[in-house]
Structure 1
Amino acid sequence: MTTTTAPAPIRTRGHTITTTVPSPIGPLTLARRDGDLVAVRMEDQRHLSGVEPDWVRDDDGFGDVAEQLRAYFAGERTTFDLATRIEGTPFQADVWEALRDIPFGQTISYAELACRVGRPAAVRAVGQANGRNPLAVVIPCHRVVAADGSLGGYGGGLDRKRWLLDHEGAHDTWSDRA
């Protein structure tokens, strides 16, 4: 779940720092605590958007994240190698961890994701956990579609989900019946 990167600068320890970076799907708000990436949020994202009141702006603490996102959007990277910290219920953490195993350019259904976390009857709960993923794009919740192949939902909006799946070349793995 967590990969190793250089430790955070001393001035950021114990604080959550934030910045905003441009992307083809709109500005992304990034947040980091003690060196770990804790949020990637899209503008107008359902459930999670904007900056929390206690976050401190620091545009210098995100070079590695910004570069990996730039490379992903440029088609030069298919995975992320970033130290992350996710906070949620144990069930949400299981769902978010299972999302990391969906390969670039592929999709699975919410039902398949529920099976992967050992809760085949919890399809709706899996969808809700998916929608509350704090690390959009980095943890690829956009790769989950409805059982009939339609896009299903997406906290960042279906246009962004469609864009991300098209960007990854997942054209044949979902239907445009939003």
Structure 2
Amino acid sequence: MAEQQPDAASPSRTGGDLPMQEVPPQPVSLRINGKTYSFMLEPRVTLLDALREVVRLSGTKKGCDRGQCGACTVLVDGQRINACLTLAIMQEGREITTIEGLANDHGLHPMQQAFLDCDGLQCGYCTPGQICSAVALLEEVKAGQASAIDPRKAADAASLSDEEIRERMSGNICRCGAYPNIVAAIRMAAGASR
């Protein structure tokens, strides 16, 4: 007996696939880089896609889209997150800071300047995520958060070893291999923030 094939319009029952339900756009209000943006957004849109495609802040990069490379790292209430792994609608009421929001009227953020001074980039694709992650790293140390390398609280960012900086930055991948200069930039910014 011939196996029956499902219609293109009917869902396959063998694989548990169900048709995607259409979800109407919802009102979303996000506070990004000190400014409030309100728009209608389909609830399944990631924060990364909202930043890039809706708000048009292209500094946050889409790398792997799986939370493995760190190119999409942004700060939410001062904590680093992968924007590709969270839904935009989940970030309502929180302060989102992208690479564009780090600089101010007085110039670049000290971490941005350190990356330039230490040549902490090559192609530059991962750099926005690297910088946001490095800014959060210094804040984590200031707050006394331990790391996997050293479970004790770090005294201050200037006392971090290169190994600990690398471990704390391990969620951010640089395909060009600018790691020594990235570590130097973080060390320089740590000294500037003292």
TM-score by length of 2: 0.30
TM-score by length of 1: 0.31
